[in-house]
Amino acid sequence: MEFPLHDETTAPEAAREALATTKKNFGMIPNLEKVMASAPPLLSGYSALWDLFDQTTLSPIEHQVVYLTANYENECDYCVPWHSLLARKVGMDAKSIEALRAGAPLPDHKTTRYGRLPEAWLLIAARYLRQNSTHSSKQDTPRCRP
């Protein structure tokens, strides 16, 4: 199935403002948002979650540590390059970006004030999935990678 790639002029009316804001903030509209524009409530929810995450006490670099870790764990070939670009834009050093792209520990734990932030977030997420899974055992719990 193919999905149309909308911009702020071709999207359904309810999605146009979100796309215009994305373009203003990033200088372009990523394809993910262009596709989501076909379902304005989906795009609205995605944008709201992005905005809420920006309201946390994490620094811009720490945001990208979390995003790149999730991108790697979910094997998102589209997301990794995009968040690598965003990580560079907020000042993350090249060695840290490459480590996160490879799923390796950060070379300098000073990158985040929390030390091993990626592992902590993933452990919390894995624990939540195990505790709230409808599967009968831990072996049946979905995993990001084998």
pLDDT in tens, 69-98: 888 877 888 889 999 999 999 999 999 899
Residues 96 and 32 grouped into a single domain: no
Residue 85: what pLDDT?
Answer: 94
User: Burial, 84: exposed, middle or buried (Cβ in 10 Å; 0-12, 13-18, 19+)?
Assistant: buried
Name the token pair of 117: 């932030």
Residues 84 and 125 grouped into a single domain: yes
Write out pLDDT tens, residues 41-74: 999 999 999 889 888 888 898 889 888 888 887 7
Q: Is there a domain that residue 126 lies in?
A: yes
Number of compact structural domains in the chain: 2
Cβ neighbours of residue 89 closer than 8 Å, sequence gap 6 or more:
none
Residue 106: what pLDDT?
Answer: 79
Reduce the DSSP state of residue 58 to 3 states and report it. Answer: coil
b/e for 38-72, b at 16 or more Cβ within 10 A?
Answer: eebeebeebbeeeeeeeeeebeebbbbbbbbbbbb
Residues 19 and 71 grouped into a single domain: no
Q: Quote the pTM value.
A: 0.70
Confidence band for 119, pLDDT divided at 50, 70 and 90: low
Residues 69 and 127 grouped into a single domain: yes
Residue 69: what pLDDT?
Answer: 83
For the chain, how big is the Rg over CA atoms in Å? Answer: 17
Percent with pLDDT over 70 in the chain: 73
Structural domain boundaries, residue 36: 13-54
CB atoms < 10 A from the CB of 104, how many?
Answer: 12
